Amino acid sequence: MIDPNQAFAALVAATSVPTPVPVPGFDGDPNVVTPGVIGFVLTLLVAVVTVLLVFDMIRRVRRVRYREQVNAELDAELAAEQEAALEADFEAQDRTTEPGDSSPR
């Protein structure tokens, strides 16, 4: 039977480690390379765009919430008006009929 530790050790020993190939025409230290001004500007641009998108999203969500609130208030007012109109109709019918009479006058 094959020992898993020996199999793993053989696999690691058989794997070659790639050697880094230097970039032609670059004489500097590859550990000191920075993105420079272009990298800073692009990172700043991404951050600013993200902040602006967040503010826009907050504004849109707030607008939807206010519209929903106003529509709910308008629906409540309309329901109250319809209920008051129905009550007025029932009272008018009660006045036109006598207690024992089921037909209007």
DSSP structural state of residue 79: H
Write out the two tokens for 36. Answer: 């420079």
The dihedral of CA 57, 58, 61, 63: what is its sign? negative
Give the tokens for residue 5: 């530790």
Task: Give the global pTM.
Answer: 0.47
Residue ranges in the chain assigned as alpha helix (H): 4-14, 36-96
* SS3 (DSSP) at 4: helix
- Per-residue pLDDT, 65: 94
Contact indicator for 104, 93 with CB cutoff of 8 Å: yes
| pLDDT tens by residue, 44-73 | 999 999 999 999 999 999 999 999 999 999
